[in-house]
Chain A
Amino acid sequence: MNNRKLSKWPYIFMAPYFICFMMFFIYPTIYSFVISLTDWDSLKGASQRKFIGLANYVRLFTKDKLFLKSLGNTAFLMIIYIPILIILGLLLAMLLYRLKRTSRIFQTVNVLPYITTPVAIGIIFSFLFDWSTGIVNTALIKLGILETGINWLGDGGRARFVVILLIIWKNLGYYLLIYLAGLATVPEEVSEAAMVDGANKLQVFRHITLPFIRPITVFLILTSVVSGFQLFDEPYLLFSNVQSPIGGPERACLTSMMYFFDQTFKSSTHLGYGAAVSYGLFMIILICSTLISKVLFRKEKGE
Chain B
Amino acid sequence: MNKLKKKLVNTGSMIILLMISLLSFIPFYFMITMSTHVTSEIYQGDVFWFGNALIKNVKTIIDGGFLRYYSNSLLVSIGSTVICVLFSSMAAYGLSVYRFPLRGKITTFIITSMMIPAQISLIGYSIEMRSLHLTNTLLPLILTWGASAYGVFFMIQYMSGSIPLELIESGRIDGCNELRIFFDISMPLIKPAIGTLAMLVYLWSWNNFLMPSIMLTDSRKFTVPLGIQTLATAYTQDWGARGAALTIAVIPILMIFAVGSKYFIKGLSAGAVKG
Residues of A at under 8 Å CB distance from B?
A: 2, 6-7, 9-14, 16-18, 20-21, 23-32, 34-35, 92, 95-96, 98-99, 102, 104, 106-121, 123-125, 127-128, 132-133, 135, 138, 142, 169, 172-174, 177-178, 180-182, 185, 215-216, 219-220, 226, 229-230, 232-233, 237, 240-241, 257, 260-261, 264-265, 271, 274-275, 278-279, 281-282, 285-286
Contacts and interface: CB of A to CB of B under 8 A. Distances in A.
B207 A117 contact: yes
Max count, chain A CB within 10 A of own CB: residue among B21, B28, B88, B182: B21
Interface in B111-153: 113, 115-117, 119-125, 127-128, 143-144, 146-147, 149, 152
Contacts of B224: 117
B189 interface: no
The 10 A-B residue pairs whose C-beta atoms are closest, nearest first, are A13-B94, A28-B124, A20-B146, A31-B124, A17-B91, A10-B98, A32-B124, A28-B125, A28-B121, A95-B13
A124 B31 contact: yes
6 contacts: A2-B172, A14-B94, A96-B13, A133-B43, A219-B272, A226-B117
Nearest to A173: B24
B95 to A, nearest CB: 7
Nearest to B9: A98
A261 B124 contact: no
A21 B258 contact: no
B95 A10 contact: yes
B265 interface: yes
A116 B121 CA distance: 25
Contacts of A219: 271-272, 275
Interface range on chain B (Cβ under 8 Å from partner): 35 or more
Contact of B13 (A34, A99, A275): A99
Chain A interface helix/strand/loop/mixed: helix
B78 interface: no
A14 B91 contact: yes
A87 B229 CA distance: 34
A99 B10 contact: yes
Given A17-B152, A112-B254, A28 B24 contact: no
B15 to A, nearest CB: 10
Given A9-B94, A95-B16, A108 B261 contact: yes
B249 A120 contact: yes
Interface string B167-184: 000001000001000100
B55 interface: no
B62 interface: no
Contacts of B125: 24, 28, 32
B34 interface: yes
Contacts of B225: 117-120, 233
B263 interface: no
A127 to B, nearest CB: 7
Candidate in B17, B30, B246, B271 with the most chain A CB atoms within 10 angstroms: B17
Contacts of B94: 9-14
A67 B194 CA distance: 41
A99 B45 CA distance: 38
Given A25-B149, A181-B273, 6 more contacts: A2-B172, A21-B110, A28-B128, A116-B253, A120-B250, A123-B232
A182 B272 contact: yes
Contacts of A174: 268
A17 B95 CA distance: 12
Contact of B257 (A11, A112, A169): A112
A10 B62 CA distance: 48
A175 B207 CA distance: 20
Contact of A119 (B110, B115, B209): B209
B203 A115 contact: yes
A6 B98 contact: yes
B160 to A, nearest CB: 15
Given A24-B125, A116-B250, A120-B228, A233 B242 contact: no
Contacts of A264: 123
B74 to A, nearest CB: 14
Contacts of B90: 13-14, 16-17
A111 B232 contact: no
B146 A182 contact: no
Contacts of A185: 273
Given A21-B147, A25-B147, A7 B100 contact: yes
Contact of B146 (A17, A215, A230, A278): A17
B91 A30 contact: no
B20 A35 contact: no
A224 to B, nearest CB: 12
A120 B113 CA distance: 30
Nearest to A241: B236
Contacts of B23: 169
Contact of A117 (B47, B113, B127, B253): B253
Contacts of B45: 133, 138, 142
Contacts of B116: 29, 282
